[in-house]
Amino acid sequence: MLQLLLDLADRFPIYVVGGAVRDLCLGRVSCDYDLLIPGAEFMTHLGEISLVLGQKPFALSHEHQHWRYHHKEAVLDIAPLYQSLATDLARRDFTVNAMAMELRDFVTQDLEKVKDFHLGREHMASQTLVLTSPDSFARDALRIMRAARLMAELGFTTSSDLQAQAKKSLESLRHCPGERIWAELKRITVAPMAISAYAWLEQLGVLEALFPELEAEKGVSQNQHHAFGVYEHSWRAFLAYMQGWQTPDFLDADIRERVSLDLGRVPVNLESVCKLASLLHDIGKPPARGVRADGKVTFYRHEQIGASMIAPIAQRLRLASTEAKLLSRFVRWHSYLAQLSRQPGLHEGHFFRLALRLGEHSIPMALFSVADLLAKGEEVAKEDSYRRVVSTLNRFFQAWYFRHNEITRPTLPMNPAELACALNLPPGRWLQETMTYLEEQAARGNLRTEDKMIALAKQFCQRTENKSYRTRA
């Protein structure tokens, strides 16, 4: 893409700046390029670039004259250079991002020609993030999240001054646009060193600023089944889930590879949602906490309460509808598989219910059940409860992969309209509830004929005291 612009670079200066130069110095491939062109006659030069690329850009900021091109799989951002190159680089976030190269030198990868006024290459060699100027975070607090992303993606550490400046800008970070925060958080969450970056964000108080619901868990004790309070349990569950996502060694060999492949196919944004949900899964516990007369601590309906708390979080981060729904569903049903594992006679009908509740993302959601249990205490892996949950998870995955249609879309001998006609009842909510029950029976192998379906439907309606049915009967 950049080669197309070389002829233009002979007519006016074009500089590659920022992350692309950093990545070139690190030997990394970049598909995201920031270019500076002269501010004088900027729009004329932009038009020339458009002619060469054969497309028009769209504005990232009309005020600052920032424009973007998408060319195949590359992204090209263009901005004007009004003052000197040194002045522009001094306003960038970190020294490792405050380097530049002339376009031709960048294309030929002539690292001797890197323009580095702030010791960026030296800091890169020590893998240290250093602020280009003391007011870097004050000018844009989102740079705190960018620092965490570079830690997560590249393994950088941060200078003590950077951490001190970050703490001063937490209030400003709260007011950054949610979509910008989420864009950075997504990349942090799926990066190779995400756990270290999250620990840094927690230490600085960034997570407290972004998720006060998580902060409310601190100091909330649990019952005798938990060795840790709610906050520490949430962190341990998050860490165990991140590990389980990478190496689900507790799964049977014949499904482990299938699960790993499916996890690898989860879109990045939804992977980020699942992993974030593993940290937020118990936000409903503080408001749900109660103490019985015998002193036992309870958290009745904390899953439902937690799910109801997701909407404000989704709004703050400007999550897409699919992301918000997945986050809510994860929190609502995170403990359901563990509950099923305690059933004395586990059958295919239970797996139908589980698949119905978890939906299309059953694999990553069900996987969390092991992490949630491991986070209860150091010795949990030796207990019967752990073996039951792992066994239930393996059985569910066996059914999901090898009897998928039987547990997710079991075939019924009659459709809803035919059933309503056979029972001489008008359609309504009763019909949906009855069909769900009948699908569960079909998953168990208890329903193969129309007569059996009608008989089971009548029993269900009578047992649930369905008013429509009882009135006609």
Q: Which whole-number Å values give the CA distances from 426 to 122, 192, 419, in the listed order?
A: 76, 56, 10
Structure tokens that stand for 157 in this block: 């550490």
Q: DSSP 3-state assignment of 260?
A: helix
Torsion angle, CA of 20/21/26/27, rounded to 10 degrees?
A: 70
User: Could you count the other beta carbons within 10 Å of the beta carbon of residue 84?
Assistant: 9
DSSP string, 162-187: HHHHHHHTHHHHHTS-HHHHHHHHHH
Helix 384-402, helix 362-374: angle, nearest 10: 170
- Total length of the chain: 473
Residues whose CB is less than 8 angstroms from the CB of residue 294 and which lie 6 or more positions away in sequence, other chains included: none
In 3-state terms, what secondary structure has residue 447? coil
In the chain, the domains with their CATH numbers are 1-126 (3.30.460.10), 133-210 (1.10.110.30), 213-408 (1.10.3210), 416-472 (no CATH)
pLDDT, block means (10 residues), the chain with 473 residues? 91 95 94 93 94 92 90 89 92 96 96 95 96 94 97 95 94 94 97 96 95 96 91 97 96 95 96 98 97 92 98 97 98 97 92 95 97 93 94 96 90 93 90 92 90 93 69 50
Give the pLDDT confidence score for residue 467 in this predicted structure. Answer: 55
Q: Are strands 58-61 and 99-102 parallel, antiparallel or unpaired?
A: unpaired
Give the pLDDT confidence score for residue 469 in this predicted structure. 53
The Cα–Cα gap between 380 and 250 comes to 14
* pLDDT attached to residue 73: 80
For residues 334 and 238, the answer to whether their CB atoms sit within 8 Å is no
